[in-house]
Amino acid sequence: KAGSEPEPEPGPEPEPEPEPEVLDPISLEPLSELRYPAFNLPTDGEDGIHSELYDARVLSNYLVSSGNFYHPTSRRPLQRTECQRMDTFIRKHRLGRPCVTASFDHAQDVDTKGSSTGEAGSDRVDRHREEASDM
């Protein structure tokens, strides 16, 4: 064709969008900067398919210091076996004192009986909570 303009050269392929940084839902710190793996806590139950990753140290400190054993984002009640799994993870990766299960048990005793089952247990949980809130 006479007088027609040449077709423009195709531009470079656009760069794919980088994956968004995965942040710990509690501390909002990047999980990629941890020196240990992130802890997987399903949002929809122990055998759930929807997962959420956490810094296990931050999550355990939150649970123990608050005495609130609910999933931080989905608000479902945590199971004792999940607390045991967290303690095992904490022990394996040397992230501090594994006391989530003991604190969970204490919270359950208080909820079902209306008071602590013993001062020694209560003192120990209080000490764990104080240590967790100091971190």
Q: pLDDT by residue (tens digit) across 72-83?
A: 999 999 999 999
Q: Which ranges in 20-118 belong to alpha helices (H)?
A: 56-66, 80-92, 100-113
Which residue did the predictor score with more confidence, 96 or 118? 96
Stretch 56-76: mean pLDDT: 95
Question: What local confidence, expressed as pLDDT, does residue 14 receive?
Answer: 72
Question: What local confidence, expressed as pLDDT, does residue 33 receive?
Answer: 95
Residue (of 53, 65, 63) closest to 84 by Cα position: 63
Strands 53-54 and 39-40: antiparallel
Question: What local confidence, expressed as pLDDT, does residue 71 receive?
Answer: 96
pLDDT surpasses 50 at 68: yes
- pTM across the whole model: 0.70
pLDDT surpasses 70 at 119: no
pLDDT surpasses 70 at 18: no
Alpha carbon distance 38, 55 (integer Å): 5
